[in-house]
Structure 1
Amino acid sequence: MEILEYYLLQEISTVMLLLIVFLVRRVVSKLVKRYATASHIIEKRTNLVIKYINILITILASITIILIWGVQTKDIFVTLSSIATVIGVAMFAQWSILSNITSGILLFFSFPFKIGDCIQIHDKDFPVEGEIEDIGALHVTLKSKTGELVIYPNNLFFQKGISIIKKLTNNNNEFTD
């Protein structure tokens, strides 16, 4: 019984934090879904952004719980810097994945084009023109006039010029006004 009384403040703080995390996750989820509905963004993309935000909230809550229970700040920084170093070295070769995920989130909120739009990517080496079939976390799938599927990484949408042109008709794979 003495142990429970000794840690009563930490226990109450932890329960309060968990309640706050639960409420924040619900509120953020509703706000993102409301934004997605107003912007006519597909549910798959909305759920992906909510998942990323929930991961961030969970990480912050975990760090806060560690602080509540009295772990020394310098110990936390040593541990986090060690973890960050290992992840940084491991992910150095995978920087493009992180870049594409970040670009996918930016595309979600900036919403420059949507599924069904026909776009032209101004790339001098490999110009691409097609209808947007899908917008994922890592890439955008385009369908060309010839029916060829082109997978284009999200991060290149921020490096290349993009023109939204005509829509592709469903019947004969021709572009119309």
Structure 2
Amino acid sequence: MIYLNRIVTGILLQFANKNRISALRLGYVRKAVNIGFLLMGFIFTCFLFGLGYQQVFIFMSSFLAVLGIALVAQWSILSNITAGVIIFFAFPYRIGDRIKVVDKDDDISGKIVEIALFHVLIRRDDGSTVTYPNSIILQKAVIQLNGSKSTEVEAFSEDKC
């Protein structure tokens, strides 16, 4: 398991270096991968101690049922973590890029300050910071702005909203 974890970590590091992904974002994904390996190691250890498939899976299903009931109200947390992993691999924008999230209720445009496991921090031009959930930013249209405000992009988004 340890060797497999090192191989996967090496692949993640190569991917992060190739795509210029920040160390903070890489740390979040590495934690999620480590938790997965920890769970697999626990199951493997149970089998080594002679527990049968039925006993291990009854324990795991009971644990997951209790966890599911505890997190049913926190479903958005799980979706934000999943979206955070998807953003790590597929989000076309990086920290420092100026973006505009097309939202009819509010003007969310500015510079990406941080991309975390649960949210993206966007600093507006007036200095305020918007915390935008990962699951929502994947559902909305995001427009990349050039250095200064682009009136053409703003006119396009105001016409569509």
**TM-score under structure 1 normalisation?**
0.81
Equivalent AA in structure 2 for residue 136 of structure 1: A
- Specify which of 107, 110, 118 is matched with residue 98 of structure 2: 118
Equivalent runs, 1:28-47 vs 2, <5 Å: 28-47=8-27
Matched with 1:154 is: 134
Post-superposition offset of 1:147: 1.1
Aligned length: 150
The CA distance in 2 between the partners of 1:40 and 1:85, in whole Å, is 39
Q: Percent identity?
A: 34
Equivalent AA in structure 2 for residue 164 of structure 1: Q
Equivalent AA in structure 2 for residue 22 of structure 1: I
Equivalent AA in structure 1 for residue 83 of structure 2: S
Matched with 1:107 is: 87
**TM-score under structure 2 normalisation?**
0.88
Equivalent runs, 1:50-65 vs 2, <5 Å: 50-65=30-45
Post-superposition offset of 1:69: 2.1
Post-superposition offset of 1:58: 1.3
SS in 2 for 1:126: coil
Post-superposition offset of 1:175: 3.8
- Structure 2 residues not aligned, in runs of 5+: 151-161
Moved over 6 A (4+): none
SS in 1 for 2:117: coil
Q: Name the Cα RMSD after superposition.
A: 1.3
The CA distance in 2 between the partners of 1:29 and 1:99, in whole Å, is 23
The CA distance in 2 between the partners of 1:41 and 1:50, in whole Å, is 13
SS in 2 for 1:115: coil
The CA distance in 2 between the partners of 1:40 and 1:111, in whole Å, is 12
CA deviation string 1:64-111 (max 9, x = no partner)? 121122212111121111111110010011111111111111000013
